[in-house]
Amino acid sequence: MIKQLEYLSLLIIPLFLLFTVLYGTVKKVRVYDSFVEGAKQGPAIILKIFPYLLTIFVAIKGFQASGAFDVLRDGFYGLFGFLDIPIEAVSMAIIKPLSGSASTALFTDIVKTTGADSMATQMSAVIMGSAETTFYVLAVYLGAVSIKKTRYLVPVCLVADFIGIVVAVVVTRWFF
Amino acid sequence: MNALWLIMVCVSIVFAIFTGHLEAFTKAIFDGAKAAVEISLYLLGIVSVWMGITKILEDSGLIYRIAHLFKPLICRLFKNIPDDHPSITAITLNVLANLFGLGNAATPLGIQAMQDLDALNQDKGVITPEMMTFIVINTASIQLIPFSVIGILANYGHHNPAAVVLPVLIATTISALTALLVLAGFRKVFK
């Protein structure tokens, strides 16, 4: 079932591309020239995003390496100790919004050290699947249109992330 | 963003000094810069490809037809988008890409959507309610099947990796809905 669905999702982009070029050709668009014309905009967009991405990454990496991350994790672990959440899942909950590659590495590590069927793995899997790399999304999307005044967006995202993690923990407990 | 960044940097440096992680901290800053360059190069490729595809959609008029088709659905969440506006297409395609876990498509289409939404922005540099809704939907990440998680679980001998699908789907749906509620709540307070 999963295999078939994976194949289906692999089909989406190629089919969409095929449909786009055929539809364009029917409508007498010179698709090659159009594509080149569109692709020209790419570098300008990335140039806009790059400084935002760099600024946020410097802060995130520094935060992880400074030891502040461990203190934050231990703090959360102590604070929510009564919920009996594995400490690995707490790490996952903090890492996921910060960094995509770090959370993948951490997840692989959790599966390796605690076993594929442990509670820590199950909970991390649900967090990993249901949370998003919030800071990356903020940097890229806000950077793309040079937004300086974000009003209450950042607190909304942080509150929503927190609720998302709690939901993931509750759902995991309920299922496994 | 300003306050968050300031706090992260200051707290990190203070901790680095007191926990003796200064060397690691300094190295990490430049590692972060390097990661930003690598990701930007990766984005340069995929964003350019999607800009190319989008240009064909535009020139053939397909972008307006898709917008027309999905307008009733999208405009429930995004009130101030004019009829058949290209942003509807970009938002629709971004949401679909997220649903199917197509990372290579979701980010470029999201950038496109932000640019289309910014075209409607009267006060450049200040975020609009539509942009906020769009970003909140994206950070809540609705995903039907988490292929990468299943892949890792299968690799390390989980007895039934696909068992994670249902809990993830439930968790992500509830958290996406609560995220929109939180946004609506903040919107009321800050009106």
The Cα–Cα gap between B26 and B5 comes to 17
Q: Which pLDDT score is estimated for A163?
A: 93
The Cα–Cα gap between B175 and A171 comes to 11
Q: What is the DSSP string of B36-68?
A: HHHHHHHHHHHHHHHHHHHHHHHHHTHHHHHHH
User: Measured between CA atoms, how close is A48 to chain B, in angstroms?
Assistant: 10
Look up residue B90 and give its two tokens. 């970009």
| pTM given for the model | 0.91
Residue B88 is which amino acid? Answer: I
Question: Considering CB atoms only, which of A16, A108, A129 is closest to B146?
Answer: A129
Residue A85 is which amino acid? Answer: I
Q: Which pLDDT score is estimated for B46?
A: 94
Question: What letter would DSSP give residue B100?
Answer: T
**pLDDT mean by block of 10 residues, chain A; 176 residues:** 80 93 97 96 95 94 92 90 88 91 92 93 93 92 94 94 93 89
CB-based contact B12 A53, cutoff 8 Å: no
Q: Which pLDDT score is estimated for A99?
A: 87
Quick one: which of A146, A59, A41 has its CA closest to B35? Answer: A59
Question: Considering CB atoms only, which of A43, A59, A67 is closest to B5?
Answer: A59
Q: What is the pLDDT along chain B (191 residues), one digit of tens a residue?
A: 788 899 999 999 999 999 989 999 999 999 999 999 999 999 999 999 999 999 999 999 999 999 999 999 888 899 889 988 999 999 999 998 988 888 789 999 999 999 999 999 999 999 999 999 999 999 987 788 888 899 899 989 888 888 899 999 999 999 999 999 999 999 999 87
CB atoms within 10 A of CB A131: 26
Q: Which pLDDT score is estimated for B124?
A: 93
What ipTM was reported for this prediction?
A: 0.91
Pick from B42, B60, B66, B170 the residue to mutate for testing the A interface (most A CBs within 10 Å).
B60
DSSP β-bridge partners for residue B126? A149
Question: How remote is the C-alpha of A168 from its chain's centroid?
Answer: 15
Query: Residue A133, by phi and psi: left (phi above 0), alpha (psi -120 to 50) or beta?
Result: beta
CB-based contact B13 A62, cutoff 8 Å: yes
Q: Which chain B residue has its CA at the smallest distance from A130's CA? A: B172
Q: Which residue has the tokens 């231990």?
A: A74
Quick one: which of B24, B5, B3 has its CA closest to A67? Answer: B24
